[in-house]
Every structure is written in structure tokens, then in C-alpha cells.
Structure 1
Amino acid sequence: MAGIPAARAVRVHTLSATMQRSMPRRTWREAFATYASPSALALLLLGFAAGLPMVLVFSTLSVWLREAGVARETIGYASLIGLAYAFKWVWSPLLDQWRLPLLGRLGRRRSWLALSQLLVAVGLAGMALFDPQTHLGWLIAVAVLVAFASATQDIALDAYRLEIAENTQQAALAACYTTGYRVAMLLASAGALFVAEGFGSVGNNYLYPAWASTYLLFALLMLPGLLTTLWMREPPVPQQTQQAAARYGLTHQLVSVLVLIVLLISVPAMFTQLYHSGVDGVFSSQVTLLDLLLDDRAFLRFTLYTVLTVLCLSSFGRRGLAPVLTPISDFIQRYRWQALVLLGLIATYRMSDTVMGVMANVFYVDLGFSKEQIASVSKLFGLVMTLLGAGVGGLLIVRFGILPILFLGGLASAATNLLFAMLSGMGPNLEMLVFTISADNFSGGLATAAFVAYLSSLTNLQFSATQYALLSSIMLLLPRLIGGYSGVMVENLGYADFFLVTALIGVPTLLLIGLQWGRERRHTSSSPDTPGNPGTPTSAAPQAPRPTSTPE
């Protein structure tokens, strides 16, 4: 629940001890002046535009579907819309190096921001045209468009934040972005529920025009972000990006994205078709390979996907994948075998609360809470606890380092799922709901603060946009895939056992954090003079400097 926005959190560059000593101290007046800069206002409004669409195609949409009588299993499958955020790294290099035609006059970053924001607004208005009781398929299809446009906006915003200011201003800009994002989440969740109920969709009295009007209203709320994109200035293009653009042309970029998409589709499809084919009959001499080729369609599809996979992995395919593989190879070269542990940690850290979060709003509705209660406790009060948890997490990180608080956040996020299991046996108990939501959102905020700092420490600024998109996508991929089956899990296990299972799947993450924590402590004790923050992996690759001026 609370962990979802971490995929979009601001990239905060971890400086070495030498660089920190060389940075001049600033007065309180200069520090507060950062919040009054045009950059801070731009990030506040852009953060608002980023926070709206994800909630509207995720948790708020699940309430709409449930009120319309859509089955829980279908709602669980519909949550797979969130996979767009998990695969945004696929096309992130395209945004780094290709300026759009026509809109490209706005600049490399602003053109992609304007296009994605227009698509989000049109998509939200399009969702309002379809009643899930009669046109569920069309509604989901338009929601997928919104998710892809929103993910594209995230990529452009991540890169924009990194390029508009020097290191000393990044924390203030991060705070502005997060504030706008959280306000948008509050409006798109609690606000949408209040608006839908105010328009007449109350309890069991489902009213499609009420939800349609709600989504049309929120489509209009994308206007401030679009106007901000048109108003702000384009940041300068970093030298590393100019060199990459000269090395990889537009055709190469498009081929890279196409080859990668084909590879991502063909590899899992190849194994799926092999499983459904009759290839086992060859080993028992019941059929021949010729029979399979002539009569077994699954085997034919397996053969086709195998050919596509081989072509993608051939020398031609590897050359085509160079724009995407370069940032990935940089990460692997820096961390080597340790990269496997890091990627496993990233892929599973938010699994416990993300899988649970898919069914959270459905659980509240099924338990008998009204939309007003859900909005007041889960959204309004929960938001305050999330921000409080994030603040406490930030203080603890400064005092104890990243990895101890990363472990604490992961433990708390998994353990609070047990409170939901207790609530499932108590019925619509408002006091228990307040306590459960408070603990869950506080732990989620704590975990988010630690996880953002950890992801930031792993990225090389030279490839920051692509690497951050990749790491945040890996964070969402496995939880989103498993979350798609959350409705099936609830139907088969019941809510109490479902919450117990989601708590247990947080245990492997804690083991990985413990492994990494122990390694870092041994490394620190053996190399006490090594610069860097305790508990933070030290990058061997040189970090590119930030720009020294803002675009405004």
C-alpha cells in the first residue's frame, strides 16, 4: 500500500566523504530560499501530476470495479495494469536520447512530459466512457494506456529532477516533489471516493454516472501539470547523453526497444508453449518430431518463439540491445556477483505489502466499512502516518545507516500484515481499523525512506535515468505478478490466511538484507578508511557531476 510510490521516488545521489567535506556550508536563509525557487514550484506541480494516474488505475479503480459487482479474481488480474511501471526501463533509453517530432520544439524532456500528460488526461476521460458492468474490457484497455503514459511521465520526471539542479538542492526538490505527489494520491484515493459518493454511488447503490463524473473531474486535474511543463525551461543536455545520442541514433534506439520487447515476450512464451505441447511423447516414442511439427500447434509456437529468442540473442540482436545493455553492464561490472543479491533484495523488498495492498480496499468493502470510513482512515489518516514514518526513517538512517533501517522497515511492513489478519476476524471494527492502518502506513513510510536511499546509492549518475528506472521496475515486477493472483488467493485461503501468507513472503527479503548487512560490516571493519556511508554499497564507477544551474 504505502510502498507503491517508492518506485517513483526522487533519486538522491550519495556523495563520497571527500565530496561532502568539499561542499560549502549554507546558511538557514539560503537553505529555505531553495523552496522559493521556480524549480521547487515546478517539482511540486509535476509531483501532483505524477501522483494522480497511478492511484486511479490501481486502488481507486478496484473500488469502482467492486462496487460494479466485478469478481475479486478479475480485480486481482486487473491489477496487472501496474506491470507498465515494472517494465518502464524498456523504453527509458528512448526518452534519454530522442526528441519527439513537433512537440520536440519544447525540448527533450518537456516534449515527453507534455505527450505523456496529454495521454493521461485523455485516458482518464476515456475511462469515464465505459461502465465496467457492460464494457469491462474497454475500460481495462484504456486504463492500460493511462498506466503506460503515466510510467513514461515518471521516466521523464526522474531525468528532469536529476538535471535541473546541483546536489545541494536535490533534497529540497525531492521534498517538493513528494509533497505534490502525496497530495495527488490523497485526492485520487480519498478524494475520489468522497466525490463518487457525493455524486450518488453509495454502498450497494452502484451508480455508473457518479464514477464517470469522478474520472472526468480528475482528467481536468492534469491541467496544472501540463501548464507547468509548458512554462518551465528545458534543462541542459548532459555531455554523457550527447555522446550516447551520437553513438546510438534514433533507428538504433527503436531497434533496441523492439528487440527487447520481442525478447521479453518470446522467452516466457517459449517455455509456456513447450509445457503445453506433446513433446514428452517423443521421449516415449509415441510421436515423432515430424508429427509435432505437422499437428501440434503448441510445439509450432514453441519453435517460432525459440527462433525469435535466438535471433534476439545473436550478434545482431546484441548490437541492437546496446543502448539498453550499456547501463545494465555498468551495474554488473560495479557489483559483479553481489549484483545477484542486490537484485534479489530489490525484487522482493516491497512484495509483502504490495501483494497485500491489491486486496486492501476490496477487503475494507467486504468487511462492511463505508467509503467514507475507508477514505477517512485509510487515506486521510494513513497519509499522515506515512509521512511521519518517512520522517522518522530519515532520522534513523542518518543515525544508524541505511541497511539497519532497511531491515527494520522490511520487518515492520511484513509484521503489520498480521494486524489485517486479526481485523478480518473482528468485522467492521473502526478502532482496530485505525490502529491497523496507522501501523501499516507508518511502517510503509519507514521502509520507503530506507529503500529510496538504498536505490539511490546503487545508481551511477552517468546512467541515472535508465538505471533508476530499471531498479524501480525490478522492485515492482515480482510483487505485481504475484499481486495479480491475490484475488485467487483470497478466494482459496480466505482473508486471514491470505494476510498470513503475505507476511511470510517478507522473510526471504530479511535474509537477503541480513546477508548484505553482514558483508558491509565486514567490509567496513576491514577497510575503516573507505569513504562512503555505512551500510551503503560503494560504487567503483566514476559519478558524473550535476549541473550547476537550474533551468528557470
Structure 2
Amino acid sequence: MPRKSWREALAAYSSPSTLVLLLLGFAAGLPYMLVFSTLSVWLREAGVARETIGFASLIGLAYAFKWVWSPLLDQWRLPLLGRLGRRRSWLVLAQVLIAIGLAGMALCDPQTKLTWLISLAVLVAFASATQDIAIDAYRLEIAEDTRQAALAASYMAGYRVAALLATAGALYFAEGFGSTVQLYQHSAWAGTYLVFALLMLPGLLTSLWMREPAVPLQTQLAAALYGFSHQIASVLVLIVLLVSVPAMLTQFYHTDFASLVRGEASLLDLLLEDRAFLRALLYTILTTLCLSRMGRRGLAPVLTPVNDFIVRYRWQAFLLLGLIASYRMSDTVMGVMANVFYIDQGFTKDQIASVSKLFGLVMTLLGAGIGGLLIVRFGILPILFIGGVASAATNLLFMLLVSMGADLQMLIVTISADNFSAGLATAAFVAYLSSLTNLQFSATQYALLSSIMLLLPRLIGGYSGVMVEKLGYEQFFIITALLGVPTLILIVLQWKRERPQTNGSTPPEAADTPPLKTEANS
């Protein structure tokens, strides 16, 4: 791909699609925060027990498993609303449900109608996750790969502004309407959530106004092949499989096999007396049925996009998945302990909030914007590499801060650099993920790849507290910086593989590979 001029790079931010993604990002950022951190404050102020608030956080599973129902958005057109087009119809449905859900939450006082409040929050979370799927798919289909970072930067700007408004802004509204920790008033929170239900209107108008991207012929054929009933069956089979496999392993773990080995019990005894063993057998049967020929046929709408990815990249798919799974590991694992570290260093909550909200937000948006500009100018992989280096290297600033105590100026430098590198890396990574997807399965493949991106860092991040306890903060930050090295090696390997393509030749593996993208008008 020939290198573009700076004027052409800046032009990536002047298209109407940039404004569309800004407004859609705003619509995506509002509900996410309103069913998490802001809802937790509301529940606690209303006197709900901490244990209940903790269980309520499981609402977030809707975002972690959104790839389960993403094939529906790729291959099924909604009745009536389907006249708006495949992407816009799902966006309108999701945004209407979010607004209705937020308005319904406003009418439920957690002191008397907690169950209804949580149920409506679940509705908002599922509708919000569906909106995210549709927005990602829309973004992939309206522009070529090099413009994806610019669109992602615009989306991130809208998202961060909405997130700030739905957290600090929502607390300000609730306080202004008369609800405090000492004197809880449901009417104040009701007014706050009604305001945010109305703030979904710009996103809804944007979905009605924007242009629907063209539907690739392959997608039309796939939609004709898998009817609605088949797709619903696929989602149900996948849910059963996701539940039965971990449950089966858990029940086998609790089965008293030791007594069987010692000869104290027979297999018949286990069948008759050990409930864990009986449940394990039941889940084994369910798993077997899901993986049988009939079950695999039912899973075809989900397995087809996965198979497409593997067929297109062959053995290289493992390299790509390794890169995706590890790219955000360095800053994600470190980020789990960041706020704890600030407190342990002696910074006040006001200092942390002020620096992170002011400098953190500005530098994140600046990093994302510059990342989008550089990717149009120089290509994706060079900026992906720079983002990986910056994300890992800025962890060393935290290491320097360890010995400096509560140095506010160093905190500003550290948070600014960390958020700038995170914005740059995110823009590059979104563009790279977008380049890997096939437009025939844009919603499903992007949802899957973005889920893989978070899985390993979140699992390792769960042990970050243990690492700090055993090693101390200084060694912890060094280790998190080193976690970025394998990713850089994988990027270099991938860069070497793709270099022949930029020189005008096609690698033999790609000779029979279908194109990843079809350029669409924005």
C-alpha cells in the first residue's frame, strides 16, 4: 500500500462517518456505566447490602458473551424494522430498548422493587451489548482498514465523554436533585436516569439518519442458508455448551473418586449416593449432544465464521490469535492495581480523580486521534508496534514513582503517558482487528476476536494482587512491562510475513485466500 500524505491522513477525520461514530460512541458509553459503577452507588446509597451489589455486577457477563448472539446480527434481518437495513435496524431496536430500560429503572426504587430494577438493568446490559456488536460491524463495513483507527478514535472520544457524563455527571445530577448519603431520595435518582434515557435520543436519530452499508453477496447467501429458527437454535446450543462444559468439570472435581480408588465404594454407589457424580453425568450427556453431528449442525451459524478465519489464515491463525490475546496484556494486568497503587503511595482520592479525569481523558483521546492519523499515513503494523512498545514502557514510569512517594507532578506525567499510550495502542489494535475480519461475518468475527483480546489479560490480572504482595510494586511493574515483549516479537514476525504483499508480491499462502475487505462508501 503506497504511503499517503499528511493531507490525506487528516482527511480521514473529515468524512461524515467520523461524526456518525462520535455520536454512536456517545450512545454506547452511557448505558455501560449506568448499569455498573453508577448503579452501584445508587444501590449503596439506598442501603442495599454489599453482597447484593456484588452479585449485581454479574450483569457484566452480557458484554463478555456478546459473541454468542452476534451471528443473529450478521445473518437475520429484523421484521418491520428490517426495512431500515441490517445494521440500522438492530441499532434502532437496541437503542429503543436501552431508553425504555433506563426509564423503567428510574421508576423502580431499590428499597422496594430491587428485583425489577436488576431485571431492567439486565435488559439494558443485553441491549447495550447488542448495540456494541452492531456499531463495530457498521464501522468495519463503511471504511477500508487504514481508516478504521480514525473511526475508532472518533468512537472512543464519544464513548469517553459519555462515560464521564454517566459517572461523575450522574452523581452530580443525583446530588443536585436532592439525594445524598445521609438522606436518600428515590425521586432524585429517578430524575437522573430519566435524563440519561433522553440522552439516548442523539444516538437514535443518528441511526435513523446514517447510511446503511451495502450487504455483501456472501452474507445474503448465508442469511438464506440459515433461517431464523436455525440461528436461534445455534444460540441455544452454544449457551448449553458454555454452561455444561465448566459445570461438568466442576462436578467431576467434587465427585468422591478417592473412595472408589480405595475400594470403599463401587461405581453403583457413586451413581446412587453421589449427587455431584450424577450431575457430572448429566452435563456430560448435554456436552456430548452439543458436540454430536446434530449439535455441530445446529452450531453452524457460529462455527462457520470461526472456520472461515482458520481457512483464510491456516497455521498463521495461531500466530494472529497469540498476538491478539497478548497485545493488551501489559497495561491491562498493570491497570488492575493502578488505583490501589495510587492510594498506597499516599495520593488522595481527589488528586487521583482530578488527574485521571482531566489529564487521563485528554491524553487518551489525544493518543487515539494521533494513532488514527499515523495509521493512515504509515500503515497499521508500524503503529501497532509503537503502541505495544509504549504500553509496556510506560509501566516503568510507575516503577520510578514507587520511590518518589506522593509526588503529584510525577503522577501527572505517569498518568498522561500511560493514557496516551493506551489511546494510541487501542486505535492501532482496533484497526488491526478490523483488518482481520471478513465482511461476510463482520459482527461475529470481531466480537470473537475482541473477546479473545480480553480473556488472557483478565485472567492474569486476577493474580495481580498476589504478585504485588509477594514481589512488591517495583518488581510487579517490571514484570508487567516484560509481558509486552512476546507481543512485540509476534508483531515483528507478522510484519515480516506481510512485507512481501506491500512490495507487490503475494505470498503463496494467500494466493487462494479471499479478500478480507470490500471497500464501501461512507
- Please, what TM-score do these two structures have when normalized by structure 2? 0.82
Q: How does 1:123-522 map to 2 (within 5 A)?
A: 123-129=101-107, 139-164=117-142, 173-200=151-178, 205=182, 207=184, 209=186, 210-351=188-329, 353-354=331-332, 369=348, 376-394=354-372, 398=378, 401-412=382-393, 414-415=395-396, 418=399, 426=406, 431=409, 433-480=411-458, 503=477, 506=480, 509-520=483-494
Contact 1:387/1:445 (8 A) holds in 2: yes
- 1:119–1:365 CA distance, 2 compared to 1 (3 A): farther
SS at match of 1:35: coil
Contact 2:325/2:454 (8 A) holds in 1: yes
- 1:417–1:470 CA distance, 2 compared to 1 (3 A): farther
Contact 2:106/2:189 (8 A) holds in 1: yes
CA distance in 1, matches of 2:61, 2:459: 8
Following superposition, the deviation at residue 275 of structure 1 comes to 0.8
- 1:376–1:309 CA distance, 2 compared to 1 (3 A): same
Task: Please give the per-residue CA displacement for 1:180-210, whole angstroms capped at 9, x wherever unaligned.
Answer: 33322232233234334444566x6474544
Following superposition, the deviation at residue 162 of structure 1 comes to 3.3
Task: Please give the per-residue CA displacement for 1:267-288, whole angstroms capped at 9, x wherever unaligned.
Answer: 1111011111213322222222
Query: Match for 2:299: what amino acid?
Result: L
- 1:413–1:83 CA distance, 2 compared to 1 (3 A): farther
CA distance in 1, matches of 2:142, 2:415: 37
CA distance in 1, matches of 2:504, 2:54: 47
Equivalent residue in structure 2 for 1:35, among 14, 26, 29? 14
SS at match of 2:487: helix
Query: Match for 1:55: what amino acid?
Result: M
- Please, what TM-score do these two structures have when normalized by structure 1? 0.78
SS at match of 1:93: helix
Residue 520 of structure 2 corresponds to residue 542 of structure 1: no
Identical positions, percent: 66
- 1:283–1:139 CA distance, 2 compared to 1 (3 A): farther
Task: Please give the per-residue CA displacement for 1:136-155, whole angstroms capped at 9, x wherever unaligned.
Answer: 76655543332221110011
CA distance in 1, matches of 2:403, 2:363: 20
Contact 2:330/2:481 (8 A) holds in 1: no
Moved more, 189-198 or 278-287: 189-198
- 1:65–1:481 CA distance, 2 compared to 1 (3 A): farther
Contact 1:406/1:450 (8 A) holds in 2: yes
- 1:109–1:352 CA distance, 2 compared to 1 (3 A): same
Contact 1:59/1:361 (8 A) holds in 2: no
CA distance in 2, matches of 1:435, 1:159: 36
CA distance in 1, matches of 2:255, 2:229: 37
Contact 1:124/1:218 (8 A) holds in 2: yes
Following superposition, the deviation at residue 323 of structure 1 comes to 1.4
Moved more, 537-546 or 172-181: 537-546
Task: Please give the per-residue CA displacement for 1:426-471, whole angstroms capped at 9, x wherever unaligned.
Answer: 4xx7556534432331232132133223323322333322211110
Contact 2:371/2:424 (8 A) holds in 1: yes
Following superposition, the deviation at residue 394 of structure 1 comes to 4.8
- 1:453–1:168 CA distance, 2 compared to 1 (3 A): closer
SS at match of 2:484: helix
CA-based RMSD of the aligned residues comes to 4.3
Task: Please give the per-residue CA displacement for 1:309-359, whole angstroms capped at 9, x wherever unaligned.
Answer: 111111111111111111111222233344334323323433454466567
Contact 2:244/2:287 (8 A) holds in 1: yes
- Residue in 2 aligned with 1:94? 72
Query: When the two structures are aligned, how many residues end up with a matched partner?
Result: 516
Contact 1:60/1:192 (8 A) holds in 2: yes
- Residue in 2 aligned with 1:13? none
- 1:531–1:261 CA distance, 2 compared to 1 (3 A): farther
Following superposition, the deviation at residue 110 of structure 1 comes to 2.1
CA distance in 2, matches of 1:96, 1:142: 26
CA distance in 1, matches of 2:288, 2:449: 26
- Residue in 2 aligned with 1:14? none
Following superposition, the deviation at residue 263 of structure 1 comes to 1.0
Q: How does 1:109-128 map to 2 (within 5 A)?
A: 109-128=87-106
Contact 2:105/2:121 (8 A) holds in 1: yes
SS at match of 1:401: helix
